Amino acid sequence: MINSYTKDEIIGWLINRLEKANQFRSKEIANAFNVNERFVRLYLVQLHKMQIIEYSEISDGYVMVHPTMELYDFHSKGGFTVQDELLKKNIEKLYLEIEKLKPHFSEKAELFANLSTIGTAIISALKFLP
């Protein structure tokens, strides 16, 4: 598995690498970041689906990558790490809003208790995100 921080580091590697060449072995990334080559290829496909890069597999482990402007924009805005942080903050904000509203809806106390429990579980789970 590749965490958000490593994904962002790979994007930085790609930006530097693509200044020189757009063909390379996916194993180069795997070795540079100590991750499984299969995950590297899956990640490159993910970036392609997000329209961050143009990607194709050539042969013998070689891949061809062409950057899009989205690659540079995504990188400059903090990439996956910032996306994860925004998700965490938004869920924490939602939880706080639910807690703030809870006293005003005593007739719906059970609903708010359930929402609060779900919010607490989500916040606890977010601590395991990188």
Q: What total of structural domains would you count in the chain?
A: 2
What is the residue type of 48? H
Q: How confident is the model over 14-49, as pLDDT tens digits?
A: 999 988 889 999 999 999 999 999 999 999 999 999
CATH number, domain of 54, equals 1.10.10.10
What domain range is 91 assigned to?
A: 82-126
Residues 11 and 64 in one domain: yes
Burial environment of residue 126 by CB neighbours within 10 A (0 to 12, 13 to 18, 19 or more): middle
Query: For the whole model, what pTM was predicted?
Result: 0.77
Residues 49 and 14 in one domain: yes
Residues 17 and 68 in one domain: yes
Q: How confident is the model over 53-64, as pLDDT tens digits?
A: 999 999 888 999
Residue 113 pLDDT: 74
Residues 105 and 121 in one domain: yes
